[in-house]
Structure 1
Amino acid sequence: MGRLIAVIMMMIPVMIAVLGVKLMRDTLFGIVHPLYGTLWIQGIASLIFFIIGLWLVGGFILHRDRKRNKTKGRFENK
């Protein structure tokens, strides 16, 4: 049951990062979504979505590895 909850929790940041990549692609090809209005706002929003999604996934993996002592002292809290 715990693994299922972890997978569901990981889907949210992954979907945020995927949305960021999709918006980057649309910005590159000049497709403007009505929510953003202009391409440069859409481009900045897509970059922010991608960075936040990647940051959350990376933080989850780092937290899990710290808990299992797999970081070999590199990323330990001081």
Structure 2
Amino acid sequence: MARLAALIVLVIPGILAAYGIKLMRDTFFGIANLGTLPLGLQFLFGLALTILGIGFFAGFLLRRDRKNGRVSERFKEKQKS
């Protein structure tokens, strides 16, 4: 059950990142998907979705690898004194 929850947690940001890439691509070709929103704002919205989706995925993997001890020294958390 925990693996299914982890899969769902990773799939949702992946879908959002893919939609962000689609919005940026459609802006490049002049296709408005978000109604009357200007194309420049559509591109920025797509860029934000892409960065947030990929960032969440990368943070999730970094946290998991830190917990399992699979990261190099520069990615390990500093000891609080």
TM-score by length of 1: 0.92
5+ residue gaps, structure 2: none
Matched AA of 1:37 = L
Seq. identity, %: 42
5+ residue gaps, structure 1: none
Partner of 1:17 in structure 2?
Answer: 17
CA RMSD of aligned residues (A): 1.2
Following TM superposition, the consecutive aligned residue runs of length 4 or more in structure 1 with deviations greater than 3 angstroms are none
Aligned length: 78
1:72 aligns with 2:81: no
Shift of 1:21: 0.6
Partner of 1:54 in structure 2?
Answer: 54
| Structure number, greater radius of gyration | 2
